[in-house]
Chains A and B, each alone.
With several copies, the nearest count.
Chain A
Amino acid sequence: MAVIISPAAFDPYQALQDHQHAHLAQLGSVGAAAIFIGTMRDFNDGATVKGMTLDYYPGMTEKQLGLCVQQAQQQWAIIDSLIVHRVGDILPLDPIVLVAVWSAHRGDAFDACRFIMETLKSTAPFWKRERLASDELRWVEHNSKGYGAV
């Protein structure tokens, strides 16, 4: 159940490969992995975005991410999980967040991955500040529900 907060750019597929090799290579009980990767878009809320800075609350962020995983473990049968979240300066197309859940069965993996992702978005203290094409800085004021149309 690893949680990594990283100011360095990361390749989510490499992170998954590394985690799998280190922790799950011999585990014949794993039948399912559900994974979410959030990536920085170059457009948001009607404006072209050139870059982004992600602030966080060291200590509380780790604690809240740990709680997300704990709450998921109480509801679903999880074998392992991995959360990676970028902080600091981020460019369009950079991965921002990775949430992966390994389980015996797909229902548990899907539900737990989505739960962790949604709980992270509403409780983990991260804050995005966008740099627009005009070089104006703008705090992102709230997270969306996650659908294009909403």
Chain B
Amino acid sequence: MSLVVRYFASLQDLVGRPEDELAYTAPLTVREVWLRANPSLSIPPNTLAAVNMDYVGFDGSVNDGDEVAFFPPVTGG
């Protein structure tokens, strides 16, 4: 199974890349997706997460083919 993991704004600067392709076998939570993709980097405070463009908590689970995104607080408007 595989996921796309995307990073936006200051979080993209922090991880140093816009996205990852992540292959996995056992079910993962959103938090575990981050840990797999960034094993040496803890999740910055106030980070938001989305799965398939809907907001989710870090304990939410992901499915094969999902797009998981991490980004800082939004500042539009």
Contacts and interface: CB of A to CB of B under 8 A. Distances in A.
- Answer yes or no: do A and B interact: yes
Interface of A: 38, 54-57, 59-60, 63-64, 85, 96-97, 106, 117, 120-129, 139-143
A123 B73 contact: no
A142 B72 CA distance: 9
A127 B69 contact: no
A56 B69 CA distance: 12
Interface string B39-60: 0000000100010011100000
Interface string B1-45: 000001011100100000000000000000000000000000000
A124 B72 contact: no
B76 A124 contact: yes
A54 B8 CA distance: 12
B77 A120 contact: yes
A140 B73 CA distance: 9
A83 B24 CA distance: 39
17 contacts: A56-B76, A57-B6, A85-B76, A96-B76, A97-B76, A120-B76, A125-B8, A126-B74, A126-B75, A127-B8, A127-B75, A127-B76, A129-B9, A139-B10, A139-B72, A141-B75, A143-B75
Given A55-B9, A139-B9, A126 B77 contact: yes
Which of the four size classes fits the interface of chain B?
10 to 19
A21 B55 CA distance: 36
A125 B74 CA distance: 5
A123 B56 CA distance: 12
Contact of B77 (A55, A59, A117): A117
B57 to A, nearest CB: 15
Nearest to B55: A123
Contact of B75 (A85, A117, A128): A128
Contacts of A96: 76-77
